[in-house]
Amino acid sequence: MINTSKSAVAKAAPRASGHAPRLALHRYRFLLLALLVVCILPLTLRSGSLATEVLVFALAALGCNLLLGHTGLLSFGQGIFFGLGSYSAGLVLTKAALPVPVALLAAILIGAAAAALVGWFSIRQRGTYFVMLTLAFGQLFYFLAYTTPDLTGGDNGLLDIPRPALGLFGKELVALTSPWQYYGFVAVLFLVVFWLMMRVSHSVFGRTLLAIRDNEARAAAVGYDVKRFKLMAFVVSGAVTGLAGALHALMTGIAPLSNIDYHTSEMILVMTVIGGTGNLFASVLGAAFYVLFADWLSTLWPRWLLLLGIVLMAVSLYMQRGLWGLGERLWQALRRAPADNAHTAGAAPKTSRAAGATDAGDDTAKERA
């Protein structure tokens, strides 16, 4: 009896060890896909600034997807956090001359604080009124930035934002001068934030947000504090979007007024919807598609936004799950094709055997007659 159990364990051990790499690959598949995107961009694009822009707006779309895809909150306030992140980093670097990590940390904290303020008021309403509140806050922060030129630069924005090298104790460690050097820095931050967001979405907190999205009344009846979870989602989204705004300001060297405009909120929402809601890697696809497609269309026709609007209409009508949903359908179709071919091939011999049996039965009947 003991020997039998030991042999069973010995046989199961290699099987378990064989499944371990497959389980790890399945668990980290989206992180590996994000790493693949980071590696492909320098190989396919000539402009380091364009590649960096893809990752920056992918971060902004990640924050938006946490609200829209995981919590079911359609917010037009993402431009607030993006713009405040740009202004925060610009002020820290131009006025205080502090290092880049301090500027990024300030952008994260300011974005989270603004999101807490906007979310605290907005989550008290639902549906259309929630959307209108976030839009009203967007207009409020826009005019605050416009009417305080001493702080934000007004219509001109903050200009001449430096991009100092990363250092320690006065010693330069990593230069950020060239576009591709800065891309490497942004790529590392992007992968870290993407991994953290994946941890958030797979945690109990993330599962609770999905429950609130699917049935808010039932989640409240179970005992969850729905408003508190929504507010926490707002804070996380604002922190990530504020970081994206700071990285954008460092990339361009300016913090324009357009960064805090509601058009920026619309753009981030469009990226999220095109990629697909509910899946974080879909945000990366949506941002890459929007940025690269817009860059290509702008070289063809000055009114390229009209063509982009037609694409968005097509996505809304025929691809409600975005580019990620389209990719899933194509993958499932490719996986079903070999099985269908095998089933068809297996049915042919059965048909021929059945036909042969019928002919043999006819011959036997004739002989009896």
- At 174 the pLDDT is 85
HEC profile for 82-123? HHHHHHHHHHHHHHHCCCHHHHHHHHHHHHHHHHHHHHHHHC
- At 268 the pLDDT is 94
**How far apart are the C-alpha atoms of 166 and 98, rounded to whole Å?**
11
**How far apart are the C-alpha atoms of 45 and 248, rounded to whole Å?**
18
- At 362 the pLDDT is 52
**How far apart are the C-alpha atoms of 95 and 55, rounded to whole Å?**
27
- At 2 the pLDDT is 47
Please state the pTM of the whole predicted model.
Answer: 0.84
Task: Please report, rounded to a whole number, the percentage of residues in the chain having pLDDT higher than 70.
Answer: 84
Q: Tell me whether residue 56 is in a domain.
A: yes
Tell me which residue of 58, 51, 31, 61 sits closest to 182, measured CA to CA: 51
- At 359 the pLDDT is 52
Q: Mean pLDDT, to the nearest integer, of 25-40?
A: 87
**How far apart are the C-alpha atoms of 300 and 178, rounded to whole Å?**
28
Instruction: Point out which residues pair with 149 in neighbouring strands.
Output: none
Q: Tell me whether residue 315 is in a domain.
A: no
The DSSP line for 113-171 is HHHHHHHHHHTTS-HHHHHHHHHHHHHHHHHHHHT-HHHH-TTS-B-----PPEEETTE
Q: Tell me whether residue 14 is in a domain.
A: no
pLDDT > 80? residue 7: no
Q: Tell me whether residue 57 is in a domain.
A: yes
pLDDT > 70? residue 356: no
Under 8 Å between Cβ of 278 and 70: yes
Under 8 Å between Cβ of 67 and 73: yes
Q: What is the pLDDT of residues 266-293, one digit of tens each?
A: 999 999 999 888 889 999 999 999 999 8
What confidence tier does 9 reach under pLDDT thresholds 50, 70, 90?
very low
- At 212 the pLDDT is 92
- Number of domains, the chain: 1
What confidence tier does 365 reach under pLDDT thresholds 50, 70, 90?
very low
Q: What is the pLDDT of residues 158-211, one digit of tens each?
A: 998 999 988 776 777 888 889 999 999 999 999 999 999 999 999 999 999 999
What confidence tier does 332 reach under pLDDT thresholds 50, 70, 90?
confident
Under 8 Å between Cβ of 67 and 229: no
Q: Tell me whether residue 180 is in a domain.
A: yes
pLDDT > 80? residue 252: yes
pLDDT > 90? residue 65: yes
Q: Tell me whether residue 59 is in a domain.
A: yes
Residue 166's domain comprises: 36-301
- At 1 the pLDDT is 46
- What's the whole-number average pLDDT of the chain? 85
Task: Return the higher-pLDDT residue of 308 and 263.
Answer: 263
Q: Tell me whether residue 321 is in a domain.
A: no
pLDDT > 70? residue 139: yes
- At 4 the pLDDT is 53
Q: Tell me whether residue 246 is in a domain.
A: yes
What confidence tier does 330 reach under pLDDT thresholds 50, 70, 90?
confident
DSSP annotation of 47: -
**How far apart are the C-alpha atoms of 102 and 94, rounded to whole Å?**
12
H-helix segments, 171-321: 179-202, 204-214, 216-222, 226-252, 262-275, 280-300, 304-318
pLDDT > 60? residue 294: yes
- At 369 the pLDDT is 42
Lowest mean pLDDT among 69-73, 157-161, 334-338: 334-338
State the CATH number of the domain containing residue 294. 1.10.3470
Lowest mean pLDDT among 89-103, 172-186, 291-305: 291-305
- At 233 the pLDDT is 95
Q: Mean pLDDT, to the nearest integer, of 126-135?
A: 92
186: Cβ contacts below 8 Å, ≥ 6 apart: 52, 55, 56, 247, 251
pLDDT > 80? residue 141: yes
